[in-house]
Amino acid sequence: MKVFLSGNLIASEILTVNDGLNYGRFFNADIEKYEVRLTQKEFVNLIEREYNQVRDEIRVDDATYHDTSDFSASNYCTLEELFSFSIEFELIFKNYLDRIIFSKLFPVSSENRFVINSTEKVAIIEGDIVITGGAYHVKSHS
C-alpha cells in the first residue's frame, strides 16, 4: 500500500478516518487531497469477507422488495469479478465499503494528524485500486 497526501508519499499512521454521520461534509476545514493505492490482492485480502456479507444482505433485500441495486447490476458477483464493472465497483465501494476498509488501514492513534473525510473517486489504474478524496488536519488541543 502507498498513501499520498497533497501528492507527497506519507506514512499511513498519520491518517485516520471519520466514521461519523458527517462523513463527506467539511466545516471550515483546510482540505488536503489524499490518495491510497492498493494492489488488487491487498484490497481483496482486506475487504472480501465484508464485501460478501454486504452483497448477500443486499441480494436478500433486492429479492424481498423486488428492487435493484448496484450489486444486482453486477449480478452479485465476487469481489474479484467486480473489478471488471468499473461503475458498480466505484458505487459499491463508496456506498458500502470505504469506511470499513479505511478503519482497517488507518486506526486511531496518537500519530494521526489528518482525518479522511470523503471518498471522491475509486478506480483501477495499472492494476492497482486507487482511492482519492479529502482529508482535514486534526486540530491540536494544546
Dump pLDDT digits (tens) for 111-129: 999 999 999 999 999 999 9
Q: What is the pTM of this model?
A: 0.93
- Domain assignment present for residue 75? The answer is yes
Q: What is the pLDDT of residues 82-117, one digit of tens each?
A: 999 999 999 999 999 999 999 999 999 999 999 999
Mean pLDDT (the chain, rounded):
95
- Domain assignment present for residue 2? The answer is no
- Residue 128 in grid coordinates: 492497482
Instruction: Give me the numbers of helices (H) and strands (E) for the chain, helices first please.
Output: 5, 7
Contact call for residues 76 and 57 (beta carbons, < 8 A):
no
Q: How far is CA 37 from the centre of its chain?
A: 11
Secondary structure string (H, E, C) spanning 38-98: EEHHHHHHHHHHHHHHHHHHHHHHHHHHCCCCHHHHCCCCCHHHHCCCHHHHHHHHHHHHH
- Domain assignment present for residue 92? The answer is yes
Task: Indicate the number of domains in the chain.
Answer: 1
Of all residues in the chain, the percent with pLDDT exceeding 90 is 91
- Domain assignment present for residue 68? The answer is yes
Predicted confidence (pLDDT) at residue 43 exceeds the cutoff of 60: yes
Span 68-80, average pLDDT: 96
- Domain assignment present for residue 126? The answer is no
Span 25-30, average pLDDT: 84
Predicted confidence (pLDDT) at residue 140 exceeds the cutoff of 80: no
Range(s) of the domain holding residue 69: 54-106
Nearest to 89 by CA among 115, 64, 125: 125
